[in-house]
């Protein structure tokens, strides 16, 4: 059974027995689909990098995309009697 967009669809049993061939074909012919009910796709690393180029780390994305210029009112008291760490009494 072949699926449009994929060179071939393999059963899991075929894939187990012919893994080397599937890897070679993924490199030469493109994506290889394994399974019918729960499908998986094998692609070459080269193709993967072309389709999903270097994703930036989440921390970098958060720093680069933090909202700027918003005037948020942050309440001084939040219903807790705990001291605020690193806050000095002289307003600094």
Residue range 24-77, pLDDT digits in tens: 999 999 899 999 888 899 988 888 877 776 777 778 777 887 777 777 676 766
32 in a domain, yes or no? yes
Is the pLDDT at 8 greater than 80? The verdict is: no
- The CA-based diameter of the chain, rounded to the nearest angstrom, is 75
Judge if pTM exceeds 0.95: no
Q: Determine, yes or no, domain membership for 74.
A: no
DSSP state of 13: H
CA distance 25 to 65: 40
Q: Domain range spanning residue 20?
A: 8-53
Q: Answer whether 41's CB lies under 8 Å from 34's CB.
A: yes
Q: Does residue 83 lie within any of the structural domains? A: no
For residue 87, being part of any structural domain is answered with no
Is residue 20 included in any domain, yes or no? yes
The total of structural domains in the chain comes to 1
pLDDT at 92 over 60: no
- CATH code of 21's domain: 3.40.1620.10
Distance of alpha carbon 5 from alpha carbon 80, whole angstroms? 59
Residue 19 lies in a domain: yes
């Amino acid at each position: 059974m072949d699926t449009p967009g994929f060179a071939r669809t393999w059963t899991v049993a075929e894939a187990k027995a012919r893994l080397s061939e599937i890897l070679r074909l993924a490199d030469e012919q493109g994506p290889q689909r394994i399974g019918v009910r729960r499908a998986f796709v094998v692609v070459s690393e080269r193709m993967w990098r072309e389709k999903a180029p270097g994703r930036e780390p989440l921390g970098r994305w958060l720093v680069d995309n933090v909202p700027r210029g918003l005037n948020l009112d942050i309440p001084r008291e939040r219903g807790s009697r705990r001291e605020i760490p690193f806050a000095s009494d002289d307003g600094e």
